[in-house]
Amino acid sequence: MPIRYEVKAYPKAVLDAASKPETYNQPEFIPWVWYDTQTIASNQGQLSFFATTNNDPTITNIQIANTFSADQYFRPFCVTADFLIGATAQGSSGAAQIVDDLLAIQNTWRGIFYLRISAKDYAQVPLHAIHASGGIYVSALLGNVNSGILNYGMNWMPDGGYWLNGAIVFAPLMNFQTFLQGTGTVTLNASRLTRISFHGSLSRRVL
């Protein structure tokens, strides 16, 4: 994802106040990414994200299902979606399946991303519009690599994802739902691990 940051001069007093909060209830602000990983399977209906916690930090870092703790505000600036799929070699039985499945998810399943806060929709976006956060891009790879040409696909390119521009604020303990909704009828060669991420600014107490 493109790196964006502000270049701006601040008075020393402002910098000191930001780096050394004076009281426990004066919040600090840091860049943060909340992410959750779920599996899209054949004939998938609605698939919820951030609805369960997990001790495995490679799956999710959400701390409370569908909400944030009492001391946290979060302002998302973009949403990204990544398909966590390994490559296959041309000579293997799964060679053509990756791109086939990703096309099926986006074009046959016709996945729609929803963000719902307190029973009100704040996003209803085709999955096509939510691009990858990053990853490896290979337009063509020739030669004898793992007995053939590697096959790989992703929802390129990492251009900042679906841009929210900080228009939404997640307040502490406010309930939200994030899910993908498709047709409910799609045949995949394999279930595909999918990660949704919110990139933004997290406000949390100092102590």
DSSP string covering the chain, please?
-----------HHHHHHHHS-SSTTS-EEEEEEEEEEEEE-TT---EEESSS--S-TTTB--SBTTB--TT-EEEEEEEEEEE----EETTSTTTTHHHHHHHIIIIIS--EEEEEETTEEEEEEEGGGS--S-----S---S-BTTB-EE-------S-SEE-TT---B-TT--EEEEEE--S----SS-EEEEEEEEEEEEE---
Question: Please, which residues bridge with residue 204 across strands?
Answer: 28
Give the angle subtended at the CA of 176 by the CAs of 3 and 159, to the nearest 5°: 20
Residue 64 belongs to domain spanning: 41-204
Question: Please, which residues bridge with residue 37 across strands?
Answer: 195
Residues 146-194: tens digit of each pLDDT: 455 566 778 877 888 888 888 899 988 999 999 999 999 889 988 999 9
Please check whether residue 16 lies inside any domain of the structure.
Answer: no
Integer angstrom CA distances of residue 110 from 45, 69, 85, 129, 186: 11, 33, 19, 12, 9
Please check whether residue 149 lies inside any domain of the structure.
Answer: yes
Please check whether residue 21 lies inside any domain of the structure.
Answer: no
Average confidence (pLDDT) over 196-207? 86
What is the chain's mean pLDDT, rounded? 84
- What was the pLDDT predicted at 197? 96
Most confident by average pLDDT, 44-53, 64-73, 89-98, 144-153 = 44-53
Please check whether residue 23 lies inside any domain of the structure.
Answer: no
- Calpha distance 59→55 (Å, rounded): 8
Residues 23-60: tens digit of each pLDDT: 666 677 888 999 999 999 999 999 999 999 999 999 99
The pTM (predicted TM-score) of the whole model is 0.84
Site of tokens 């337009």 = 139
State the total domains in the chain: 1
- Calpha distance 198→46 (Å, rounded): 19
Please check whether residue 10 lies inside any domain of the structure.
Answer: no
Please check whether residue 50 lies inside any domain of the structure.
Answer: yes
Phi, psi of 106 (to 5 degrees): -85, -35
Q: Which two tokens stand for residue 123?
A: 């996003």
Please check whether residue 181 lies inside any domain of the structure.
Answer: yes
Please check whether residue 45 lies inside any domain of the structure.
Answer: yes
Q: Give residue 6's pLDDT band: very low, low, confident or very high (50, 70, 90).
A: low
